[in-house]
Structure 1
């Protein structure tokens, strides 16, 4: 069952994510809020939407409580151009280049806790090396997965992404999600990512404040 939002009016937004095989994606309005959109809700006369299309739509709340777009029309088709990471990482015009995202803030906090724990000799130097090495590995996996998504190639599994993040790669994983604007919408993936981030933050805080010792 779908429930219309009270006082809802027709909106416009940019299609920022689209799974052509599955027929679903997300449209982002002028305020930066994302809405789930399914191909069944797109007017057939407009054809299949593509990332970058300007869509007009109405908003409803699904039975799962997720804001969704219905009666979707393609207002302005996006120009056909090769998908690149440059396009993905470019910030929207309304977002300041100095804006610090939540994921970047969390990654920065964990990095500071690592340095604090090592500097206070409550954690060994090799711990920082492990975080740096696995963080780089995680960032590369997210980069490759984003590239594969843009080119329609075989994807990196979500299980593997989470596994590397859990095994000390979370700092790089969060940073890559922010930079590439990748894996930041799907509720289950996002929830798991933040659970991993919370576990590492608490563990690092325990080391930094001396509540936990490795030696």
Structure 2
């Protein structure tokens, strides 16, 4: 028998939550039980589902489909960019400082003809790509859709996209809290700062045509 109810709890990272039927009963729901083609549900969505016995012997929801999506919060990218008063401006500004230092090192290396112009272009191109990925991931997180994987973000940042990645983290206030992600980001940034400093100061060189 098909039932209907409201999603009252949802762990987006784990992909599970609870749906409450019209009688007030809560049923466990896992993302694997969603009907094919359904986007990840959000708290407040109206769901249709059937009942089956779960792994722990308790009733659980299966054949889950979103019958009516909850209204999206009235938020814009301007809201995302607005820093809350509780956010440390020092921590946020550190990303801008690092991106600025790397940009200046690239310009110095090009001006002193220690690297070709295309080298700076690579940072600009990949930086733009990284910034777009962070923007999309932020929007996907707000809408409850599938996210850009952290591995992909790190790979693009490492492959010359770190300047754009740091700028996007600050502008969108995104991926700035999770310790492991932050540590990996700063490790990538440190590698690039050291490498760019070595090029700009002539410690190492790139063979120019």
TM class by smaller structure? 0.5 to 0.7
Once the two structures are superposed, residues 114-155 of structure 1 have per-residue CA deviations (whole angstroms, 9 ceiling, x without a partner) of 000000111110000000000000000000000000000110
Kindly tell me the number of residue pairs found equivalent between the two proteins: 143
Correspondence for 1:134 among 123, 126, 131: 126
> What residue in structure 1 maps to residue 137 of structure 2?
145
**Cα RMSD after superposing both structures:** 2.6
Q: Could you tell me which of 95, 98, 115 is aligned with 1:103?
A: 95
Q: How many Å apart are 1:186 and its aligned residue?
A: 0.7
| TM-score after normalising by structure 1 | 0.61
Offset at 1:88? Answer: 1.1
Q: Does 1:208 align with 2:200?
A: yes
Q: For 1:153, what is the secondary structure of its paired residue? A: coil
On the 8 A contact 2:106/2:200 being kept in 1, the answer is yes
Report the secondary structure of 1:121's partner residue: coil
> Quick one: structure 1 residues 127 and 174, their matched pair in 2 at CA, closer, same or farther if it must change by over 3 Å?
same
CA contact (8 A) 1:135 1:173 kept: yes
Cα displacement (A) at 1:92: 2.5
Structure whose CA Rg is larger: 2
Matches of 1:179 and 1:165, distance apart in 2: 16
Give secondary structure in 2 for the equivalent of 1:101.
Answer: helix
Contact 1:84 1:147 in 2 (8 A): no
Shift in alpha-carbon separation, 1:20–1:82, aligned structure 2, 3 A: farther
Query: What are the ranges of 5 or more consecutive residues in structure 2 without an aligned counterpart?
Result: 1-9, 16-71
Query: Is the 2:12–2:144 Cα contact (8 Å) retained in structure 1?
Result: no
| Equivalent-residue separation in structure 1 for 2:86 and 2:152 (angstroms) | 34
Using the alignment, how far apart are the partners of 1:138 and 1:173 within structure 2?
5
Q: TM-score w.r.t. structure 2 length? A: 0.62
SS at match of 2:115: coil
Aligned to 1:178: 170
Alignment of 1:1-12 (within 5 A): none
